[in-house]
Amino acid sequence: MAKSKKTKNVKETKKLAARKTRRGWWFWLSNGLSVFIWMILLGGGVLGYFALGLPNVDEVVASTRRQPILTVRDAQGGDIVRVGALYGEAISVSDLPPALPAAVMAIEDRRFYSHFGIDPRGFARAMLANIRAGSVVQGGSTITQQVAKNLFLTPERTISRKIREALLAVWLEQKFTKEQILTLYLNRVYLGSGTYGAEAAAQTYFGRSARDVSVYQAAMIAGLMKAPSRYNPKTDIDSARARTAVVLQAMVDAGYLTSAQSEAAKSGGQVSVSKVVSGRGRYFADWVLATLDGLIGPIEDDLVVHTTLDPDVQSSSERRLLSALSGDAVKRGAEQGAIIVLSPDGAVRALVGGRDYQVSQFNRAVQAQRQPGSAFKPFVYLSGLEAGLKPTDIMKDAPVNINGWRPQNFSGTYEGDVSLEDALARSINTVAVRVAHQAGPSAIADTARRVGISTPLSPDLGLALGTSEVSLIELTAAYAPFSNGGIAIVPYGILDVVTNDGRVLYQRQGGGLGRAADPEHVGMMNRMLSKTMMSGTGKGAKLNRPSAGKTGTSQDFRDAWFVGYTSDYVAGVWVGNDAGKGMKGITGGGLPARIWRDVMLEAHRGAPVTALSGWVPPKPVDSFTRFWRNLTGG
């Protein structure tokens, strides 16, 4: 009986334990299921929250625009500069050689055709490699994720951005085919040197379309994707080649190439890479682009700007200035300079704004305002001619005192009676002041405005000595009426602006400021300014053809100028320092005159010799004729 009771208790205990076990499993199962459901809901809520902030893929793809490319070309059709991100023609993967997409997938996303936008295996592999290395050595992003980031998201490194990137990657995989995604990537990825997309990179680095790249070139393009600056073949060809070797090995590992094919690609891998573009014409390009918006309004399309720049004259001017500002010029404190060369109608043929554009982009030919000194005197003498004076009129070179102002000559001496043409040729200050006093400061300021000086001038006798500041470009342009017969001009650099499909947005239709001087007075000025170069302060600039010009030196040798012209060109040269520090005895008749002569000699190479407007210099007299005239008084 007792045994039976004991057995019964054991059975009941076992049943109770079983019931408790069942209740325990049910408890954990039901609670675990609840937690799982809550996790799904919470995770779904988080994903939903981030999904709400995602852009509309269709709208973004349709509205994605790039910065317009502005190509500035010289008068011979050569490129001076391209401004803006360079996007090549959109090319489908199917139109590319198989090696290019293969190289990209081998090094960037080997499982591209296997994943759904996110590659868990690749992510885990990258994480493990980073943990082992103790730093980030691999990225786990797929090509689809990179498309999502490049097209729709900012480059910020945050958890929320990575979540949106992953969601967009899955979304893109549903919206597009693999080929379309790879095409998007290859046409939008940044590849260094301002290029976006394989086509722009192939054109920039190899001078050919991406359709025609070799296996080695394809591998080099793919290698850029990791670090476009570090592996840029233009700036570091050795690093680019080392990276290309890594890509070729990855292509072997992925089965896209055999070892023999990889070695063959390397053996033919001495690719020709275009060099980094020099600074030729960059000051000019900056000046041109600054005026573009005023001609055509907001820029929305890729544009080609055809300009007046003569590449030969420009290159010569840059070389001459750089050469002149070395050696002795450095010892004498001349650190900077500028040159501008115009056609008589105002077309800018060369513009150099400083000795080195890479070091300083400040354009001294256009932006700097300096005292021109005696280079301003031609406008004083033109005003005198308009007031009735003649080149042969005599004035006294003697001390001047006008209300306590006592201007002196550069030489510190006086020569007594002197003709106006000799006074201008020898840059005698006292005579210039007397001419200015007779013509009147207001008349001189008016004359300067007529010939193209736009900077406000102080209407006082200081104008006679060039104390009002001007820019090199406007001072040079103001000499153009002496070259072209009296017509004031506006310097211009743009001939036309067209879109890539040939639509003309702007075309120059002539223009200028009209007649600024009487042809008779122009002839007289040409006579006077020619003498400056034959026997005056400008002898250092003398050419082998009719020419005229004027030197200028400001106080304490802070600025030295030479501005002159022929019937073909008008050119101006300035030498000085940015901070206005004085030089050691450099005058306009020295270094600037020599630079001007060298630039003009090259500019006129092969050009026919023509007379200046309104005046033909007398033919040289032989020694017998001179003797006979002296003997007979004839």
Q: Using only the alpha carbons of the chain, give its radius of gyration.
A: 39
CB 444 within 8 Å of CB 436? yes
Q: State how beta strands 79-83 and 548-553 pair.
A: unpaired
Nearest to 345 by CA among 495, 471, 449, 448: 495
CB 598 within 8 Å of CB 325? no
What residues have CB less than 8 Å from 25, skipping those under 6 apart? none
Phi, psi of 230 (to 5 degrees): -65, -40
Q: Which residues pair with 190 in a beta bridge?
A: 196
Calpha distance 142→154 (Å, rounded): 17
Calpha distance 572→338 (Å, rounded): 8
In this structure, which amino acid lies at residue 531?
K
Cα 524 to Cα 367, 418, 519, 541, distances in angstroms: 32, 17, 9, 20
The active-site residue out of 141, 374, 427, 530 is: 374
- The three-point CA angle 548-551-553 to 5° equals 170
CB 497 within 8 Å of CB 304? yes
307 — alpha (psi -120 to 50), left (phi > 0) or beta? beta
* CB neighbour class for 422 (10 Å; exposed up to 12, middle 13-18, buried from 19): buried
CB 499 within 8 Å of CB 487? no
H-type alpha helices, 276-350: 282-296, 311-324, 328-331
Q: What are 348's two structure tokens?
A: 């800018």
Distance of CA 448 to the CA centre of its chain: 32
Distance of CA 203 to the CA centre of its chain: 20
Among this protein's residues, is 108 annotated catalytic?
yes
Residue 615's Cβ-side half-sphere holds a number of Cα atoms within 13 Å equal to 24
Among this protein's residues, is 160 annotated catalytic?
no
Cα 61 to Cα 55, 65, 150, 151, 380, distances in angstroms: 10, 9, 11, 8, 64
Calpha distance 454→448 (Å, rounded): 8
| 570-605 CB burial, b ≥16 within 10 A, e <16 | bbbbbbbbeeeeebeebbbbbbbbbbbbbbbeebbe
Q: Helix-strand-coil percent breakdown of the chain, rounded to 5?
A: 50, 15, 40
H/E element, 603: helix 591-603
Q: Can you tell me which residue has the tokens 């021109």?
A: 372
Q: Which residues pair with 72 in a beta bridge?
A: 81, 305
* CB neighbour class for 168 (10 Å; exposed up to 12, middle 13-18, buried from 19): buried
CB 145 within 8 Å of CB 166? yes
Just list the catalytic residues. Answer: 108, 374
